[in-house]
Chains A and B, each alone.
Chain A
Amino acid sequence: MEQQNEHIVRSYEEELALLNNKIAKMGGLAEKVLGQSFDALDRRDPDLAASTIGEDEEIDQLQREIEEQAVVMIARRQPMAYDLRQIMAALRISADLERIGDLGKNIAKRAVAVVTEQQPKQLMLGLKHMGELSLNQLKEVLDAFIERDAERALNVWYKDEEIDAMYNSLFRELLTYMMEDPRNIGLCTHLLFGAKNIERVGDHATNIAETVYYLVHGRPITDQRPKGDTTSSTAYTSLRSTSF
């Protein structure tokens, strides 16, 4: 059913197209904010960080517009079937993208905070790699949305495990680093939050993947997603094995 006929009422068709364009635009902005925040952190560039923080506002504005348009369309058009799913998808995806924007903004803020600190290369490399992976996930899932490609969305959904696994190992590394020298705690905490934010970006990309799947097939993904984030239990065990 991917190939949709046109509505009898042309303005309805135009409204749906507008909604889709806004999501695409919002997705592009979220990608940009996220990418810039990684660069700002990586290059220790406070100016880039500052401008990135400002750009998040545009994403928030788009989300408000999408939400308003969706509500008005539900009230005025009483959408059914695929149209209803498109509007629900727009609402959900815009909420996820807005959160991704916030997470990017937060990473940019942390980039400002750690700009003077000496950053261990190994850690930064891991963080950078994790960031690239999440950015790629976001890009893939947005393409899946635009092309209404449920298979592609499903691939994103499965791949989130990789980000989780990287987050796990980064978490351990950061913990070790903090234990070695308490003076590292400030920097490492910021980096840890940064890593957590990236991990959350991955989760939002997964949410979008689920939405795309629902949009196309009209039913949720039923598979069990492999869970890679085990840090909630790691913390306890690794602390316990350390003797203070």
Chain B
Amino acid sequence: MQERIVITGMGIISAIGNTVEENYNALLSGQSGIGDLTLFDSIHQESIKVGQVKKSTEELIAELGLSSDNNYTRTALLGAHAAKEAIANAGIQDINDRKTGLISSTSVGGMDYTEKFFYDFETSQASRKYIDTQGAGDSTEKIADCLGLHGLVTTISTACSSAANAIILGARLLKAGKLDRVIVGGTDALSKFTVNGFNTLMILTDGYNTPFDQNRKGLNLGEAAAYLVLEHEAIAIADGRTILGVVSGYANANDAYHQTASSENGEGAFLAMQKALEMAKMSPNNVDYVNAHGTATPNNDLSEGRAMQRIFTDHMPAFSSTKPFTGHTLAAAGAIEAVYSLLAMQYGVVFPNKNFVTPMEELAIRPQTSLLHKEINSVLSNSFGFGGNCSTVIFSKF
């Protein structure tokens, strides 16, 4: 039997909490993090709601102990905060005592600061330290520096499937023997650029997002970061780690249908789930919970719903989208939902798909709308993005 890739640590910061514990408590109590946009001024402030992290940029800088001349963007700060929790949770003392890598992901990168200082760069010397921070890789570099990590460091950006893909690459690098352990995840701060981008696509709701509901009107954007520590099973055991779960299957496929829309029958999503199940050597009947991508856009939920019906036929397990809690956290979403999937297994609980009222006409399946306690041995988590990018990761109990 091939050696397993196990998860030994996790860290998260999102609209519903600054730690894993706070996130779990909010999921249990049904406390959503969606509210008013106050991070920056925008003409859309009155018409949209977002999932903001309840820590200011200044607080994050202070907690990380950065000097006043630092040039960390909010994306980098959120990422460093969550990655540090993951390392501490795993009990890693010296990050370089094993061959360790970092695979992060982001969609917005440092755009939050570029948009703030765009007109100042020309005239203000002080703002220029943020010129180099626009690139997506900058946030990863900062996180690696914060952790003191020297080694294989890279960044993935495949829109809203990015963090799931970071988990996939991390597992691949471990299997190939390139690394002993790897920190994987994603980070995205809210920015005016993203708010306006999604607004032009007309997929932002003016209320609270309602995944898989007939009358869904679109998504709420959110900001967040989450990271997992992945290790070889043998190394994790040798180092005396607590094992939180196993990465038992994963796959990425392309819908090849449209740059921003998913196909009606969800072919890409279907292929991703099918291939991930194949790798995990699991029948769909063995999946106990599906943490759906469920963005609450008309297009995603129909496409994903149809794909799930094709995979699970008439044995659909409990499923929910947790985006009513956090908003759609874009490149971080796959990692946020990986943490929630692991919590679901650990505590035997399916988190509710909040805000659901009316079943979709096109679908026979219904999301789980209340907290459900049951034994969960495996969770399938979906993440889809622009460019037809479809990813599925399956987590199982150790």
Partners in one complex: no
Residues in chain A within 8 A of chain B (CB atoms):
none
